[in-house]
Amino acid sequence: MDGDELPFEMGIAVYAKGTNKLEFDPVLLDSGYDPIWDAIREEAKLEAEKEPILSSFLYAGILAHECLEQALGFVLANRLQNPTLLATQLLDIFNGVMMHDKGIQRSIRHDIQAFKDRDPACLSYSSAILHLKGYHALQAYRVAHKLWNQGRTLLALALQSRISEVVFGIDIHPAAKIGEGILLDHGTGVVIGETAVIGNRVSILHGVTLGGTGKETGDRHPKIGEGALLGACVTVLGNISIGVGAMVAAGSLVLKDVPPHSVVAGNPAKLIRVIDEQDPSLAMKHDATKEFFRHVADGYKAAISNGAVSSGDAENGHTNSTT
């Protein structure tokens, strides 16, 4: 690296500690400086040397393009094409949106940094753009969301349909509002409803559902605060809020608001404790099983001591306690 070059962290927010307030400045792109894209190209060159059989693949997906937006558009278009929605048509759509929207340009870089920082299976920036279905689904959603807001709802829904068909059941409604620095880890089975809102720096694991509770219309889906972590197979139903910096343990069913900076677990989810971490989404510790059963055991002991459970019931494992 030359002495007058900036480190990656100056161009892209690195969320390793959750306190970095730097934002990616699109002006850097106008100046020709794009550290994420530079890293992707260098990684692709090294991989082509190590694995010559993939050299054509790496050239077509990365090295033949002038910027991240063009490369990402090429990868998405080829992944989502079908006989009636051609890759060339999709490429025009993706390039037409991503090449002219500074917000999306910033978001795709914050997202790829989130995958690199938080997913131990993401070995490089280039592996995210080439292989990770969660990243692909998220960026295709961003384009569909832009089209939706432009009134091109049928095209936006067609993209949503192709994403859910091709990218292993990841179904994100194009009207949903999703921040940046998002991780969809694995992503398989993720469902995000029409009026859902997701803040910045949120981590979502596979099998998560942000759904409604019936046939009602209007604002009916969950709102996820910044820095929250939703563990594997979490279900959140209704127009409820998951607070800033909250953690929902794997397998939980959430039916009511979750306070900021708290841990909930269980079916239905119960409050386990308050946490000090600003953004648990960065730590990626989503298994609260031990804490949950300790919480249940403590509640059971309290019920016995208060007379809510008889000694005979306690021996047989029965309780009328609703705590």
Show pLDDT as tens, one digit a residue, over the chain (323 residues).
Answer: 343 333 333 344 433 333 344 345 554 556 668 999 999 999 999 999 999 999 999 999 999 999 999 999 999 999 999 999 999 999 999 999 999 999 999 999 999 999 999 998 999 999 999 999 999 999 999 999 999 999 999 999 999 999 999 876 899 999 999 999 999 998 899 999 999 999 999 999 999 999 999 888 899 999 999 999 999 999 999 999 999 999 999 999 999 999 999 999 999 999 998 887 666 677 665 555 555 445 544 554 555 566 554 544 444 444 443 33
Distance between CA atoms of 291 and 136, rounded to whole angstroms? 34
- Helix ranges (DSSP H) in the chain: 8-11, 27-30, 35-50, 55-58, 68-80, 87-98, 102-118, 125-131, 133-149, 153-166, 280-283, 289-305, 311-316
Give the pLDDT confidence score for residue 322 in this predicted structure. 37
Distances, alpha carbon 227 to alpha carbons 104, 234, 251, 283, 287, in Å: 20, 16, 19, 10, 17
Do 22-170 and 176-289 agree at the fold level? no
Residue ranges per structural domain of the chain? 22-170, 176-289
Task: Return the C-alpha torsion angle 51, 56, 60, 63, nearest 10.
Answer: 60
Tell me what pLDDT residue 320 has: 41
**Residue 247's beta-bridge partner residues?**
229, 263
- Rounded to whole angstroms, the Cα distance separating 98 from 112 reads 15
Which residues are CB-contacts of 290 (< 8 A; sequence separation ≥ 6)?
Answer: none
Q: Alpha-carbon distance 109 to 68, whole Å? A: 9
Q: Is domain 22-170 in CATH 3.40.50.10490, yes or no?
A: no
Tokens representing 249? 């343990």
Please, what is the Cα angle at 113 between 108 and 117, to 5 degrees? 150
Distance CA 8, CA 38 (A): 10
Q: What is the pLDDT of residues 281-309, one digit of tens each?
A: 776 655 555 554 455 445 545 555 665 54
- Cis-peptide, bond into residue 268, ω within 30° of zero: yes
Are 179 and 186 in contact by the 8 Å Cβ rule? The answer is no
| Cα–Cα dist 147/64, whole Å | 27
As a CATH number, domain 176-289 is: 2.160.10.10
CB atoms under 10 Å from CB of 164, counted, come to: 16
pLDDT tens profile 9-41:
334 443 333 334 434 555 455 666 899 999 999
Residue 211 backbone dihedrals phi, psi, to 5 degrees: -120, 175
223's enclosing H/E stretch is: strand 223-224
Query: 99: closest CA among 77, 80, 71?
Result: 71
